[in-house]
Amino acid sequence: MGWFKCNTDGASRGNPGMSFAAFCIRNGRGDLMYAAARTLNDTTNICAEAIAIEDGIEYCVTHQFLPMIMKTDSLALLNIIRKIWSIPWNVRMEIRRIQYWSNKGQVQFAHILREGTLHVNNFEEFPSDSKIILNMDKALLPSFKYKVYKSKEPD
């Protein structure tokens, strides 16, 4: 409670190619506070991911959605932000702006698994399975990810 969560995602068709960046912000109760997306010039997926984080963190800081947890599915970008990996030249400016904005408030970075994308306009449009996961997250209950593998019979 008391924290805001900002989920981000960036995508590139072709890598480099037509790209997009998006983020959404939820409060400590899990209620959606704000969401935004934009089309980018042809760029790479890592650059699109960085721009999504940059857009999200700037919005959170300027609108006082702090303290916050910034979540990304890009483990590579998270390693760059955490200074585990060196900064590639093509995202140097975005990383500097992310660092600038993250120094202006209490910001934590976290990795989330890449599960796919779903476009909806409101909560009622979510599939029932997704509503369960969102409500569990809102109630701060754990959820588990698992896969069932079927063994193949020998030929």
The CATH topology of domain 4-138 is Nucleotidyltransferase; domain 5 (3.30.420)
How many whole angstroms separate alpha carbon 108 and alpha carbon 71?
Answer: 9
Encode pLDDT of 40-57 as tens digits.
Answer: 999 999 999 999 999 999
| Alpha carbon of residue 62 to chain centroid | 18
Global pTM value: 0.75
Encode pLDDT of 99-153 as tens digits.
Answer: 999 999 899 999 887 665 555 666 777 777 767 767 777 776 666 555 555 666 6
Sign of the CA dihedral with 60 first, then 61, 67, and 68 last? positive
DSSP secondary structure of 39-104: EEEEE-HHHHHHHHHHHHHHHHHHTT--SEEEEES-HHHHHHHTTSSPPPGGGHHHHHHHHHHHTT
Q: What residue segments make up the domains of the chain, in order of their start?
A: 4-138
